[in-house]
Amino acid sequence: MKKERHTGGCLCGHVRYVVTGPVTDVSYCHCAMCRRFHGHAGAFVGVERSDFAFVGAGRPHWYASSDKARRGFCPTCGSALFWDSPDESRTYFTAGSLDEPTGLTGRRHIFVADKGDYYAIDDDLPTYPGTGGT
């Protein structure tokens, strides 16, 4: 985990956020919902909820993608930004929405049993058929 301060937001700048605590390295999610929401695998970074805050007036719209989680996106430009579950102590935001430099690296691939048939996972990161833990 990294302790740097991070900022990020959507394509148009309407939704902005700041992270002030340690974040996980990037998990690549290959589940069917992520692939549909992002147009490909999702790349997420996690942080404790208490270390995450929105900046300014812009807020995401939320879509309940299952009975266990919701996904947040910008209501103006449509950028996919967040995955959130009341069962988790962390909130997750897309690695691509972070302002650079991020200093992050890949951590793992999850839900690889659901990955699309149009690509290969060809790096050396650990792979898990399901979540692979939290």
CA distances from residue 116 to 26, 31, 66, 109 in whole angstroms, order as listed: 19, 8, 20, 13
Tell me, what's the pLDDT at 131? 78
Euclidean distance between CA atoms 5 and 51, whole angstroms: 10
CA distances from residue 17 to 31, 105, 120, 134 in whole angstroms, order as listed: 25, 20, 32, 22
Average pLDDT of span 95-109: 94
Euclidean distance between CA atoms 81 and 8, whole angstroms: 10
Q: Is 49 helix (H, G, I), strand (E, B) or coil?
A: helix
The encoded tokens of residue 89 equal 């102590």
**What is the fold, at CATH topology level, of the domain defined by 6-114?**
2.170.150
Looking at the chain, list the stretches that DSSP marks H as alpha helix, in order from N- to C-terminal side.
32-38
| Residue 81 DSSP code | E
Residue 3's pLDDT band (cuts 50, 70, 90):
low
Does 18 score more than 80 pLDDT? Answer: yes
Residue 132's pLDDT band (cuts 50, 70, 90):
low
Site of tokens 């897309």: 94
